[in-house]
Amino acid sequence: MQRAYDLEILDQPIHDPAELEHSLAQVAAVNRYLGGDWALRRALAPFLADRGETGLLDVGAGNAEVALSLARWAAARGRRWRVTALDLHAQSVQLAARRVGGSAGSVRVVQGDGLSLPFPDAAFDVAYTMLTLHHFREDAAVALLREMARVVRRLVIVNDLERSEAALFGARALAMTVWRGNRITRHDGPLSVRRAFTPDELMALAERAGLRRPRVHRRLAFRLVLEAEP
């Protein structure tokens, strides 16, 4: 299957607020129930051994559900993780800020461009993306990975879909059932699979970005996880 470059509805600047909120909640449910959250936590589990505060950057954070769940997960294990949830989309940032309001300072929301991150070098321990990289063309994806590497000291993580016929079949089935009531998710879900990368393509992007020791893992429910050092 060739990679698609059609634009996702979610990338448009203005949405009906209720429709956008519902769509982002559906994306969060996909992460929760189809392995995305588990795959990210598996990659981050070694950082639970840290005794001090760990700083994480979520690039393309959407409604900040992933950032909030990670902060809670670490706190339940006696660890202090401070997560910065960054997104370019103004409406998504507003939704995230509203959700983060009661998080006791463990998560902060920032509007910013992943291709020009508004942070100094080595400002975080880890930077990760969840279902974000596939929104970029190849050259921009490389630039994003370079920026993520610039602002971290220890690890870059990409958690995204794997482009495959089986994954596309599953996304189309969800579009006809679970997602059929939301125009954004119904359209973007299958397209996200078609825009996603294969393991070899993801490794090639990491190498082009100059990341050190890149490795790509296949995880449950058609997930790919790239882990690399800056």
d(CA 161, CA 31) in angstroms, rounded, equals: 11
Query: Do 24 and 63 meet the contact criterion of CB atoms below 8 Å apart?
Result: yes
List, in sequence order, the alpha helices (H) in 9-112: 17-33, 36-44, 65-75, 90-100
DSSP 88-132: S-HHHHHHHHHHHTTSTTSEEEEE--GGG-SS-TT-EEEEEEES-
List, in sequence order, every residue forming a beta bridge with 59; answer none if it has no partner: 86, 129
Strand order in the sheet with 81-87: 107-111, 81-87, 54-59, 124-130, 152-161, 223-229, 212-219
Pick the CATH number of 9-229 from 3.30.160.20, 3.30.70.100, 3.40.50.150, 3.10.450.50: 3.40.50.150
List, in sequence order, every residue forming a beta bridge with 223; answer none if it has no partner: 161, 219
Q: Which amino acid is at 182?
A: N
- pLDDT tens per residue, the chain (230 residues)? 999 999 999 999 999 999 999 999 999 999 999 999 999 999 999 999 998 999 999 999 999 999 999 999 999 999 999 999 999 999 999 999 999 986 667 999 999 999 999 999 999 999 999 999 999 999 999 999 999 999 999 999 999 999 999 999 999 999 999 999 999 999 999 999 999 999 999 999 999 999 999 999 999 999 999 999 99
Q: What is the pTM of this model?
A: 0.97
Q: How is the chain split into domains, by residue range?
A: 9-229
